[in-house]
């Protein structure tokens, strides 16, 4: 009887661990900093201070959140648009609005 209980306990722990690590993966993919690092830092630098592209610190003093979202989703003549899904762009926009 004791042995069976242990098996059940261990199995449920394994299941729980499996689920939560899956959730963590998903969360990481929608983390502003990670998305920026994957898709934007090559042009704007790891520290947002610019490289090929201009520095993008203090964007909240230049754009509203909606304007920034539009810039990030649509790009411009010089910046490619549609690098991220709309949902990812929202996350990066919110993250970027807080960078000074």
Return the number of the residue (25 or 77) whose C-beta is nearest ligand HEC.
77
Contacting range for ligand HEC; rule: CB under 6 A; set: 4-12, 13-21, 22-30, 53-61 = 53-61
| Site residue total, ligand HEC (CB under 6 A) | 23
* Rounded Cα gap, residues 1 and 96, in angstroms: 56
- Give 30 or 83: the residue with its C-beta nearer to ligand HEC: 83
**Smallest distance, Å, CB 56 to ligand HEC?**
5
**Residues 25, 56: Cα–Cα separation, whole Å:** 27
Told to check if 91 binds ligand HEC by CB under 6 A, we report no
User: Rounded distance, CA 97 to CA 90, Å?
Assistant: 11
Those residues whose C-beta lies under 8 Å from the C-beta of residue 93, and which sit 6 or more positions away, are 65, 68, 69, 72
With CB under 6 A as the contact rule, the residue among 30, 34, 43, 65 that binds ligand HEC is: 43
Q: Which residues bind ligand HEC (CB under 6 A)?
A: 39-40, 42-44, 52-54, 56, 59, 62, 68, 71-72, 76-80, 83-84, 92, 96
């Amino acid at each position: 009887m004791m042995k069976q209980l242990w098996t059940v306990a261990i199995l449920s722990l394994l299941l729980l661990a499996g689920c939560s690590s899956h959730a963590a993966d998903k969360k990481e993919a929608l983390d502003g900093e990670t998305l920026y690092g994957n898709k934007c830092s090559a042009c704007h630098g790891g520290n947002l201070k610019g490289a090929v592209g201009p520095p993008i610190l203090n964007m909240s003093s230049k754009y509203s959140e909606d304007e920034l979202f539009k810039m990030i989703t649509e790009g411009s003549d010089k910046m490619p648009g549609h690098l991220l899904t709309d949902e990812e762009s929202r996350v990066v926009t919110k993250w970027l609005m807080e960078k000074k």
